[in-house]
Amino acid sequence: MPKSNWYIAFEAHGKGPKKENIFSTRDNHWHARYRGLVEQGFSMEQLLHREEAIDALLLDLLAKLDASCAPADGKAAASHTPSPSLIDQLHYFVFDVGGILAFSRPYGFVKGQSDLEGIIRLSRKLSTHLTRLAQAPVFQYLLDKNPLVRFFGLVPPPVTFARRYLPLTRISHQIDDPRSQDEKPKPNEDLLDSWIEAHLKHPDVVTRNEIIDLALMLISPTPDAVYVHPLSLSHSLTLSPDLLTRTMLPTSRTTLGVLIYYLFKSPNALSKLRAELDSSLPNTTIPPYTLLSNPTHLPYLTACILESLRIHPPPGFMIERVVPPGGAVVDGQYMPPGTLVSVSPWVIHHNEEIFGVEPDVFRPERWVEAEPEQRKKMEGMLCAFGFGGRVCLGKDVALLELYKVVAVLVKEYEMTLADVEKDMTITWGNMVCVDMEVRIATRRRESTMPT
């Protein structure tokens, strides 16, 4: 079924023509062709080529966390608050992984220990803003799509960030001189390479504009479109930012935050997870993803990740579709054409019939104890990443980040909530973000940090 008009709010409406993107489009035909051409770069096989660079970034993150850590003795640890907060650090990491995947280099959030050009703050603000606009489309014409608002620049485009941090020379060079593609050995391909390859094969689907769009999708949180000339690319392309950073990237960081929070609240689960990690990964700071994600090695880690995606799925919206011409039968009931149907992961994931007793309780054991048939059913109904042909394109990226970061944080650090009585702060946007104040202290170890 095609997506509904709810998704219009997530389109770029710049000075150029209206611009749908892979997330927002209601045209399933265009979507299938487009996705078929660009999804290859997101495959696990391709991601694993970048694993070494991601591990190096994770080591940088650990070095920063170490530097801001409290000493391991309880008293001193209790009075020490790292800065920036652990949750912000996770956000920096997730954004930098986006840079590594797209352009083979991190943007520098972790290194600089700051929110570059305020793009993360902006992406969170816009997440809430766009969700409101999606619910009340009339406001789109008063706000984001209002020519006056755009004329006066009230919706800030990500030009400053893009100018400073996108490898613009490389992008324009590769677009204008596709032969430079041949010079690169295949395993070193990054996402930009694969998008350009898709453009060369099917320039009608993955247009030059789409390459810029995809490049921006990993960073750009604005609904407005900007022209290419401020970014000094050689042709007059319209930069119409895809909205996936604001809709998608904060999601991994949300899941990380949620899992950490629930581990604090469930000391039993935390100690089981730690015991599993300590016994299975005794000699390594950052284990390879293939080892981490193999359920036979680390079944409890997998269970914890699935449970946090279940209990607090990042999508804060109903996954909405329109019944096509001819109607459809949904759960035994006929729906006429044009009917809006939707599912909310927040409702499905709390269904006792599927996920077992006490669905409001964080209990990773439910995944470990389930019979194979039941486990299959639970995994099939877990819709944190959506379903079918529109399932999350970044699912493997997210899982790689989750496995790596959770394993490393739990193994290497003692973490406590600054205020155990305080609930995490939840912000409902199209992504349900969380915040909390966490204190950390190193647990380990022979130093494995870079000098």
**Residues contributing to the site for ligand HEM (CB under 6 A):** 22-23, 35, 244, 248-249, 251-252, 255, 314-315, 319, 384-386, 390, 392-394, 397-398
Residue type, 124: R
Nearer to ligand HEM, 171 or 405 (CB): 405
Helix (H, G, I), strand (E, B) or coil at 333: strand
Could you tell me the smallest distance in angstroms from the CB atom of residue 388 to ligand HEM?
8
The C-alpha angle 140, 146, 151, rounded to 5 degrees, equals 140
Nearer to ligand HEM, 66 or 435 (CB): 435
- In this structure, what DSSP letter does residue 364 have? T
SS3 content of the chain, % helix, strand, coil (to 5): 55, 10, 35
Nearer to ligand HEM, 255 or 293 (CB): 255
Nearer to ligand HEM, 25 or 280 (CB): 25
The answer to whether 304 is annotated as binding is no
Matching residue, tokens 């170490």: 66
Query: What CA–CA distance (Å, rounded) separates 220 from 29?
Result: 25
Nearer to ligand HEM, 35 or 125 (CB): 35
Query: What CA–CA distance (Å, rounded) separates 191 from 41?
Result: 5
Listing DSSP states for 290-328 in one string gives HHHT-TTT-HHHHHHHHHHHHHS-SB-S-EEEEPPTT-E
Other CB atoms within 10 A of residue 313 CB = 23
Nearer to ligand HEM, 155 or 402 (CB): 402
Could you tell me the smallest distance in angstroms from the CB atom of residue 393 to ligand HEM?
4
- In this structure, what DSSP letter does residue 69 have? P
Total count of residues recorded for the chain: 451
**CB within 8 Å of 412: residues ≥ 6 apart:** 62, 285, 442, 443, 444, 445
Query: What CA–CA distance (Å, rounded) separates 152 from 137?
Result: 21
Could you tell me the smallest distance in angstroms from the CB atom of residue 314 to ligand HEM?
4
Could you tell me the smallest distance in angstroms from the CB atom of residue 397 to ligand HEM?
4
Could you tell me the smallest distance in angstroms from the CB atom of residue 364 to ligand HEM?
17
Residue from 188, 176, 282 nearest 235 by CA? 176
Nearer to ligand HEM, 47 or 231 (CB): 47
**Cα distances (angstroms) measured from residue 89 to each of 96, 111, 258, 263:** 11, 10, 15, 18
The residue number whose beta carbon is nearest to ligand HEM equals: 394
For the chain, report the end-to-end CA distance as a whole number of angstroms.
Answer: 53
Nearer to ligand HEM, 127 or 251 (CB): 251
Could you tell me the smallest distance in angstroms from the CB atom of residue 124 to ligand HEM?
15
Could you tell me the smallest distance in angstroms from the CB atom of residue 257 to ligand HEM?
11
Query: What CA–CA distance (Å, rounded) separates 30 from 207?
Result: 12
Matching residue, tokens 């099939």: 380
Could you tell me the smallest distance in angstroms from the CB atom of residue 357 to ligand HEM?
25
Q: Which residues are annotated as a binding site?
A: 392
Annotated binding site for heme: 392
